[in-house]
Structure 1
């Protein structure tokens, strides 16, 4: 049964103290981190992970993503960099365990996050950036109506090759409920 923060198989929740070890493991995964961040890969300490989990502010909302069947945390979702006066925010989702990749969880997570951003936070625009080598994510974003609005040409250098970073945006009026 779907609700604002709950889909068919997942739900968005707060973080729990026991989530620290799992999130630390995700931060130790080079492949995952290189999909999410342009900064050089560097595993985080337990203290850095705890600080990230407990961080709170007025310009972002961060959720743990859990399976409905057993409450296991499988990722996180956030709307950050919110400019309240302009009703704009940046979207990020991550699925930490590769065994859940490619099974439609990302779409369900992003659908809940978009519903929250547009319906609960009353945002007008949600946007994100993605590296051009992350084809799976690009397909997901486009399937939900995000439009490519720009290219940061040769933004990133990884493994001796230059990569573009793409800017995608979705307006409330374009969003498919």
Structure 2
């Protein structure tokens, strides 16, 4: 378990899944969460995604929970962990709409960075973010991530093309 001031990151429990099912059926959440099309996912599809995460040695996924209430507010973790290269791709998704904008994403990001650089000894942490996700971009840049690339017109949302940005942070750049 990774513990901050207001939240902690822990293993996803069976009782957390009812919230995750809800978030993965919410196209507005999915629109910002990933670059794949924001199509509502069935319970079976979500179970497959999270079972694959659990079996994979290249992923670590955590429930983001409030310390005061133990309420799950989102998910966070790493995809594509390349142990030989000491590189991984970070992701955060706050599913509870009422909790957004309160600093929990920042706290989760800092917990993930500490875990990535100090515990699993990564050299580089990277992430992908859609150009219209202004709040996330601001958070990543304030944390020290550098924009390293642009996948031009990579994503189609509402019949409009958007760029996908690649950000990276090296261990020696981390504050």
TM-score class, shorter: over 0.9
Q: Does 1:107 align with 2:106?
A: yes
Measure how far apart 1:169 and its partner are.
Answer: 0.1
**Matched residue, 1:143:** 142
Judge conservation of contact 2:9–2:63 (CA < 8 Å) in 1: yes
Q: 2:37 aligns with which of 28, 35, 40?
A: 40
Measure how far apart 1:162 and its partner are.
Answer: 1.4
**Matched residue, 2:96:** 97
Judge conservation of contact 2:28–2:38 (CA < 8 Å) in 1: no
Q: Which moved more, 1:19-28 or 1:120-129?
A: 19-28
Taking the aligned partners of 1:168 and 1:127, their CA distance within structure 2 comes to: 5
The SS at the match of 1:116 is helix
Q: Does 1:14 align with 2:11?
A: yes
Q: Which moved more, 1:67-76 or 1:32-41?
A: 32-41
After TM superposition, list the pairs within 5 Å mapping 1:58-77 onto structure 2.
Answer: 58-77=57-76
In angstroms, what is the RMSD of aligned CA positions? Answer: 1.2
Instruction: Please give the TM-score of this superposition, normalised by the length of structure 1.
Output: 0.94
Judge conservation of contact 1:5–1:11 (CA < 8 Å) in 2: yes
Judge conservation of contact 1:20–1:46 (CA < 8 Å) in 2: no
Measure how far apart 1:80 and its partner are.
Answer: 1.1
**Matched residue, 1:132:** 131
| Unmatched tracts of structure 2, length 5 or more | none
Q: Which moved more, 1:30-39 or 1:131-140?
A: 30-39
Taking the aligned partners of 1:165 and 1:40, their CA distance within structure 2 comes to: 13
Superposed CA offset, 1:1-51 (max 9, x none): xxx711110001011111111101101111110112222222222222233
The SS at the match of 1:18 is helix
Taking the aligned partners of 1:52 and 1:14, their CA distance within structure 2 comes to: 15
Taking the aligned partners of 2:39 and 2:68, their CA distance within structure 1 comes to: 33
User: Aligned residues, how many?
Assistant: 173
Superposed CA offset, 1:58-96 (max 9, x none): 111111111000111111111110111110000000100
Taking the aligned partners of 2:81 and 2:160, their CA distance within structure 1 comes to: 32
